[in-house]
Structure 1
Amino acid sequence: MIRPEKHDYPVEKALQFLEPGPVMLLTSHHEGKSNIITLGWHSVLAFPPSLVGCKIEARTHSYQMVLASRECVINLPGPDMFELATEIGTCSGANVDKFARFGLTQKKADLVSAPLIDECHACFECRIHDDAMVEHYNYFIFEIIKAHVSDAPDASSTFHCTPDGEYVLSDEFLRRK
């Protein structure tokens, strides 16, 4: 086993080594309008129940919609949606219908009012499970209450964001049982 040489590193950049999961498109719905936000910072917290923690900045339109409706859908785009997912984060849903602008298909969810994104290979309907950290940290804890997952061969391929604006594909898997 290699013992790599280490050196001091800026603490403010340390998070790039701890990136927790794939880029996701979180959809929300409130007062007759739907929205999409691109998120890269979230974490699996427990199972069962299936809990996921997501940081949604308070200055975003999605933050207000999720807070008001107390639900959302976590949609996982494949690598073919990389450019689209990064562009979704460049405009506000307060001013733009992101489904129309980016040509995405809304599909009715079974248990929540937020729509599924039909082009995504996995969609998880969620409700707020715990909002204790929302006020101070913009951190929502959602419970997944319904899952929709594709059986397509490449459905598990995702992409991940680092704080430096670089992305990593997850096409290669190493398995041990």
Structure 2
Amino acid sequence: MKAFPLSSVYQLLEPGPVVLLATAQRGTPNVMTMSWHMMMEFTPPLIACVVSDGDYSFKALKATRECVIAIPPVEMAETVVGIGNCSGRDTDKFETFGLKTKPAETVGAPLIAGCIANLECRVVDTRLVNKYCLFVLEAVKAWHEPKRKNAKTIHHKGYGRFAVDGDIITLKSKMP
């Protein structure tokens, strides 16, 4: 074994797909790219996510306590990276990147068309927001695009590198 830089540990553990987090505050929607998230529970579906207090979306998420998590397919990779490389403070990302939206059913943030799935979420726990910028969300409505059943997602590996979903294997499991 050889020493590994602690600043790069996240590259080893980053398991989930890169997602888009949409918010809306005072009628103004915004979207950011996010890869720091994880499932916490499956019934109800609880998701932990880190949204830096330096991100424009932080203020909207903290104020409205709701968002949409959209899971983009690999075909949207360049758009996803472009969204992550600019700020909603000075850029209308929906217009700039040609994102099409649909109204959500239970939250004010928009669903993002063309994605594999969209999760309407409400913030259910903020105890770690001030210390770690960690929000606990509950998915309260889920949408998926049946035509994208086998769509591939991208996974952040650090410094502009991404992995694309690979082969799927099925093994015997006692989990529900």
Kindly state the Cα deviation for residue 157 of structure 1 after the two structures are TM-superposed: 1.5
Instruction: After superposition, give the CA deviation of every residue in 1:91-113 in whole Å (9 maximum; x if it has no partner).
Output: 11121111111001110000000
Residue of structure 1 in register with 2:72 after alignment: 77
Contact 2:101 2:113 in 1 (8 A): yes
1:112 equivalenced with 2:107 (yes/no): yes
Kindly state the Cα deviation for residue 165 of structure 1 after the two structures are TM-superposed: 2.7
Residue of structure 1 in register with 2:57 after alignment: 62
Instruction: After superposition, give the CA deviation of every residue in 1:31-80 in whole Å (9 maximum; x if it has no partner).
Output: 11000000011000112110001111111110111111100000000000
Kindly state the Cα deviation for residue 13 of structure 1 after the two structures are TM-superposed: 1.8
Residue of structure 1 in register with 2:45 after alignment: 50
What secondary structure sits across from 1:173 in the alignment?
A: coil
Partner Cα distance (1:78, 1:65) in 2: 25
| Aligned residue type for 1:43 | M
Contact 2:11 2:158 in 1 (8 A): yes
Contact 1:28 1:114 in 2 (8 A): yes
Residue of structure 1 in register with 2:131 after alignment: 136
**Aligned pair in 2 of structure 1 residues 176, 156: CA closer, same or farther (>3 Å)?**
farther
Kindly state the Cα deviation for residue 12 of structure 1 after the two structures are TM-superposed: 2.4
Contact 1:78 1:155 in 2 (8 A): no
Residue of structure 1 in register with 2:158 after alignment: 163
**Aligned pair in 2 of structure 1 residues 73, 9: CA closer, same or farther (>3 Å)?**
same
What secondary structure sits across from 1:147 in the alignment?
A: strand
Residue of structure 1 in register with 2:8 after alignment: 13
Contact 1:158 1:171 in 2 (8 A): no
| Aligned residue type for 2:91 | V
Kindly state the Cα deviation for residue 173 of structure 1 after the two structures are TM-superposed: 1.1
Partner Cα distance (1:98, 1:8) in 2: 40
Residue of structure 2 in register with 1:92 after alignment: 87
Residue of structure 2 in register with 1:35 after alignment: 30
Deviating more after overlay: 10-19 vs 101-110: 10-19
What secondary structure sits across from 1:152 in the alignment?
A: helix
Partner Cα distance (2:21, 2:128) in 1: 19
Partner Cα distance (1:155, 1:127) in 2: 27
Aligned residues: 172
Kindly state the Cα deviation for residue 155 of structure 1 after the two structures are TM-superposed: 4.2
After TM superposition, the score normalised by the length of structure 1 is: 0.93
Partner Cα distance (1:108, 1:12) in 2: 39
Identity among equivalent pairs (%): 37
| Residue ranges of structure 2 left out of the alignment (5+ in a row) | none
Partner Cα distance (2:32, 2:150) in 1: 21
Kindly state the Cα deviation for residue 163 of structure 1 after the two structures are TM-superposed: 2.6
